[in-house]
Structure 1
Amino acid sequence: MRVVSLVPSLTEAVAVSAPGALVGATDWCSHPADLDVTRVGGTKNPKIDRILALAPDLVIANEEENRGPDLAALRAAGIQVLVTEVREVPGAFRELARVLDACGVTAHPRWLDEAERTWSALPAPERRTTAVVPIWRRPWMVLGRETFAGDVLARLGVDHRYAAHEDRYPRIPLDDLRAAAPDIVVLPDEPYRFTADDGPEAFAGLPCALVSGRHLTWYGPSLAEAPRVLSEALRAAHR
């Protein structure tokens, strides 16, 4: 198999589960750290000619991360494209199994079994908290309805304020985010890189949790440790 991945989390999943299969990945595919494949541009602007030059048997994409016209162009060139759709944790496991099967992996890798056990054994939260979860600023955008990250947080006892919004990633003015009066503001380091000096100052008086975007939004090997890593960051914000 010759596989090109246009999804960072799936790049990591394929790289560790089907060594040698991956021949191309996006500029944003940062894991594994020693990944040595041809880079084919960004998730939103892949270099179609560079992908075609790799002669892949399969291109892996995601309905949210990648643009329809790019995928259509690949299909028109005769390339098989597998598109994932993930909006909740169980769906992530189903899609991961589908991707790995398409890449020729004949048995569940150990990390996937471990991740499934971790999430299925997750205890019920002792208490529930409310949150707003910005993913961008200038303009401010937050998690809305039916997002994978929102489901991850909900399973950890965190209900975000815009889960019922008509948009998946609505633009909300900062004053409205403050007025929502959440128990906590969750600030991931991707897609916008919120840091201690860039983000919390906008929510003075509210606890802010700086969390790993890889553990909040990626579905791959990071799922096995995501509950622990995210829970620790959320608890730290309340200290």
Structure 2
Amino acid sequence: MAKGFTFKQFHINDHGCGMPVSTDGVLLGAWAALPLSGPILDIGTGSGLLALMAAQRTAKQGNPVTAIEIDNGAAMAAQCNITDSPWADRIEITHQTIQAWASQQPAGSVDTIVCNPPYFNHGEQAGCQARAAARHTDTLPHSELLAAIGHLLSPTGSASLILPVYEGEQFIEAARAQQLYCQRLCKVKTTERKPPSRLLIDLRSSPAPCQTEQLVIHQNDQYSEDFIALTKAFYLNM
């Protein structure tokens, strides 16, 4: 039986992808700042989730979306998901590394970047090669990801990412060396009593005070009002 996840306006079949649909991806896709116009880039699209969420959120404006994916199986799955969506004419899948793709693009040519990047620099890797590539930074070191973002991002653009807290703090620090600065930061907690487990990060090319907020996913054994408000345009039962 094919794996899948049905949202309000599209369906994701994530068979063959290193990482299935996750709360992390949905949070990022719903939280990321999106422009009124201009191109959107999804780095490491996997099943195509972020590209499809971006297309749904910009349906009125019709922003073009480019989705980069290095893994052949994931790129094929993403193409099928996009073809079956209402926005197939606006999303282009590119099967190559972001490093190679960025080197072919003019500097400052992308207004908005979304990326659910490989998280882990160290530790035991998954036996599945596709899953290991999606989770670990061997094929996309954070330094190379930041270099690509720094080259591609327009002067008024933004790059939105999600990372575990420790890796996210290191990423924000490393971003400054690329003259990328965190202007929005959301600390995500699974419950009120637990410490933050994820950071939603918004990088821009100009320094400014960082606006910090907090999101709790579960309160009183149910989804919090803030989580529902953020994701209700996508989840079927919200």
User: What TM-score results when the alignment is normalised by the length of structure 2?
Assistant: 0.31
The structure having more radius of gyration, on CA atoms, is 1
User: Which structure has the highest helix share of the two?
Assistant: 1
TM-score normalised to the size of structure 1? 0.31
- Whose strand proportion is higher, 1 or 2? 2
